[in-house]
Amino acid sequence: MIFVLTGAGLSAESGLGTFRDEGGLWTQYDLEEVATPQGYGRDPVKVLDFYNARRANAAGAAPNAAHHALARLERAGRARLVTQNVDTLLEAAGANEVWHMHGRLDRVKCNKCGDTWDAPETMCPFDACGSCGAQKLRPDVVWFGEMPYHLDEIERALAEAALFVAIGTSGTVYPAAGFIEHARMLGTPTLELNLEPSGAPFDEGRYGPASEVVPPWVESLLGAASS
Ligand code: APR
């Protein structure tokens, strides 16, 4: 099984932008204000507005050739897809199962009781939780300082992986940034597919836009797509 970790670079060509590249989200917004529990506590309306804008942007986006190639690899039973991205473009491209370790834009979580459900197009600050009635709803997105999802399953999948591949991620945010060291410690071969080298010690790298680099890599594993 190939363990595939993806980041914002996978969805960049679908128009969703990245965080740390020039013009990225963290050059436009203060992440302390919109991506931390403290920021939500101080100004929940600002946080909901930030994620409403991202949800609208994601709703208008289409999967690119890299999403389609990865979905094909996953449907063939060859890859475990783990993403830091909160968009669902891999699912839109036909992937059956994607582990969103940083949560999903299209889900809501009650900050009081923890219940989760599908998000409306626009979240309003006075919406109440259907389970506990609290007006403390937030996007089901993992903020800085919070525990990512799927970590136990990820640890098991890394231990079983025959190859670790990181696609479109700067490798700057833990625990995802530590997966390559974990793979190297296990003696698992590592491959980076990115616009440019992230600087992490991968055994191999293929560089260029994801939509140009990922499909040939998948085809080298599965053969050319029939359709
Ligand atoms: N094709 C491939 N890679 C690309 C492309 C592209 N078209 N465009 C940009 N990249 C690469 C950049 O070279 C960089 O390595 O995507 C990466 C984007 O890095 P970041 O903006 O840091 O995004 P990411 O690594 O996903 O951030 C990780 O940080 O803010 C948190 O929760 C957020 O999940 C995010 C996490």
How confident is the model over 137-166, as pLDDT tens digits? 999 999 999 999 999 999 999 999 999 999
Residue 69, SS3? helix
How confident is the model over 75-118, as pLDDT tens digits? 999 999 999 999 999 999 999 999 999 999 999 999 999 999 99
* Tokens (6 digits) for 30: 């203060």
Q: Which atom of ligand 1 is nearest to the CA of 209?
A: 1
Residue nearest to atom 25 of ligand 1 (CA): 169
* Tokens (6 digits) for 157: 């999948």
Burial of residue 203 (number of CB atoms within 10 Å: 0-12, 13-18, 19+): middle
Q: Which residues contact 87 (CB under 8 A, 6 or more apart)?
A: 11, 14, 16, 58, 61, 105
CA-CA-CA-CA torsion for 130, 136, 137, 142, nearest 10 degrees?
Answer: -130
Q: Which residues contact 59 (CB under 8 A, 6 or more apart)?
A: 121
Q: Which of 194, 206, 207 has most ligand 1 atoms within 8 Å of its beta carbon, as the pocket-test mutant?
A: 194
CA pair distance 56, 14, nearest whole angstrom: 13
* The pLDDT of residue 224: 78
Residue nearest to atom 31 of ligand 1 (CA): 173
Reported in sequence order, the residue ranges of the chain that DSSP labels E, i.e. its strands, are: 2-6, 79-83, 98-100, 103-110, 116-118, 137-141, 163-167, 190-194, 204-207
Confidence category of residue 63, pLDDT binned at 50, 70, 90: very high
* CA-CA-CA-CA torsion sign (207, 210, 211, 213): positive
Q: What is the mean pLDDT of the chain?
A: 97
Q: Which atom of ligand 1 is nearest to the CA of 210?
A: 1
CA pair distance 64, 13, nearest whole angstrom: 7
In the predicted structure, residue 23 carries a pLDDT above the cut 60: yes
CA 36–ligand 1 middle distance (angstroms) = 19
**129 neighbors 110 (Cβ within 8 angstroms):** yes
Please indicate whether residue 8, judged by its CB atom, sits closer than 6 Å to ligand 1: yes
pTM greater than 0.85? yes
Please indicate whether residue 190, judged by its CB atom, sits closer than 6 Å to ligand 1: no
Residue nearest to atom 10 of ligand 1 (CA): 9
Q: Which atom of ligand 1 is nearest to the CA of 142?
A: 32
Please indicate whether residue 168, judged by its CB atom, sits closer than 6 Å to ligand 1: yes
* The pLDDT of residue 227: 53
